[in-house]
Amino acid sequence: MDTPLRGSRFDLRVEHSNTMPDAQTNDLLRGGRWGFLHSEETGSAVDGPGMRLVYWTTGCEFRCQYCHNPDTWKLKNGRLVCVDDLLQELAKYAPFLKAANGGLTVSGGEPLVQDRFVMQLMHGAKALGVHTVLDTNGFLGNKLSDEELEEIDLFLLDIKSWDPETHLRVTAKPVEPVLEFARRLAERKRPVWLRYVLVPGLTDAPDNVEGVAKFCAGLGNVERVDVLPFHQLGKFKWDQLNMKYELADTLPATAEQTAAARALFRKHGLNAAE
């Protein structure tokens, strides 16, 4: 079996598994032993606590206007990998990850497009005593049972917008399933770090930001908020994929705009990280 694709999450990956028939793809996903990976990174310090090994999966239900990895939308843009190989690799890094107060993060794309594959990774990581993080938009959260939620140590939950119309405009999907998953995590007392992407002229309206802040403050399980300023680092992918990029003329969020958004979260007692 080939080793998984290494390199940056910003690398362009296309059509690694495009010739695989859909029926075969669906069978593999149901089994969970095989999955599709965009890339992997070692030593990440921005995808959960400590130093982390990050597996970036392909497949996503959302079509975010500001997505910096639109090549992860298509499942078959990833390379087919076996969970056994990934866990063997994780085992090599496990002593270092534990010493660095880190662990394994599974991100995407949207990992829950490949929920059985992701949970096999989580099972294996827990067996190795490695801290686990799932980075998710929450839209497919009902794919996980309550018992499976307990196996994940931390959720990085991306709430794109409080305002339903803005959420639909940003993602092409409704916001309510995301909020319902957030409520479910709160009921189960599962730790959450909120991620909010601040896009000038799109998601930065104070009422919108404060709506997310009020909601998350009422949950009781949001340990940290990361306000992520919009950037243009992924624009080249849209260009190379011949996709229309609606935010081509949008300026990155300034330090002042980002600080103002953090202040709204702090106003409601949340820990908005610098």
DSSP characters over 34-64: EEEEEEEEEEESSSSSSSEEEEEE---S---
Which pair of structure tokens corresponds to residue 109?
């794309």
Domain count, the chain: 1
Query: Does residue 31 carry a pLDDT above 60?
Result: yes
CATH no. for residue 200? 3.20.20.70
Query: Does residue 1 carry a pLDDT above 50?
Result: no
Residue 36's pLDDT is what?
94
Residue 247's pLDDT is what?
96
β-strand pairing of 192-198 with 103-107: unpaired
| 13 or 86: which leads in pLDDT | 86
Contact in structure between 149 and 125 (CB atoms under 8 Å) = no
Look up the pTM and report it. 0.93
Query: Does residue 241 carry a pLDDT above 80?
Result: yes
Query: Does residue 17 carry a pLDDT above 70?
Result: no
Cα separation, 221 vs 224, in Å, equals 9
Please check whether residue 256 lies inside any domain of the structure: yes
Percentage of residues of the chain with pLDDT beyond 90 = 86
Range of the domain at 227: 22-267
Please check whether residue 1 lies inside any domain of the structure: no
User: How does residue 141 score in pLDDT terms, banded at 50, 70 and 90?
Assistant: very high
User: How does residue 25 score in pLDDT terms, banded at 50, 70 and 90?
Assistant: confident
Q: Average pLDDT of the chain?
A: 93
Average pLDDT of the segment spanning 139-156? 98
Please check whether residue 10 lies inside any domain of the structure: no
Please check whether residue 2 lies inside any domain of the structure: no
Which of 18-27, 28-37, 193-202, 253-262 comes out lowest in average pLDDT? 18-27
Q: Is 106 exposed, middle or buried (0-12, 13-18, 19+ CB in 10 A)?
A: buried
Cα separation, 13 vs 76, in Å, equals 10
Average pLDDT of the segment spanning 60-84? 94
Query: Does residue 109 carry a pLDDT above 80?
Result: yes
Q: pLDDT tens digits for 213-238?
A: 999 999 999 999 999 999 998 899 99
Average pLDDT of the segment spanning 256-271? 98
User: How does residue 204 score in pLDDT terms, banded at 50, 70 and 90?
Assistant: very high
Residue 19's pLDDT is what?
72
Please check whether residue 246 lies inside any domain of the structure: yes
Residue 4's pLDDT is what?
45
Please check whether residue 6 lies inside any domain of the structure: no
Average pLDDT of the segment spanning 72-78? 92
Please check whether residue 178 lies inside any domain of the structure: yes
Contact in structure between 184 and 140 (CB atoms under 8 Å) = no
User: How does residue 127 score in pLDDT terms, banded at 50, 70 and 90?
Assistant: very high
Query: Does residue 2 carry a pLDDT above 50?
Result: no
Please check whether residue 9 lies inside any domain of the structure: no
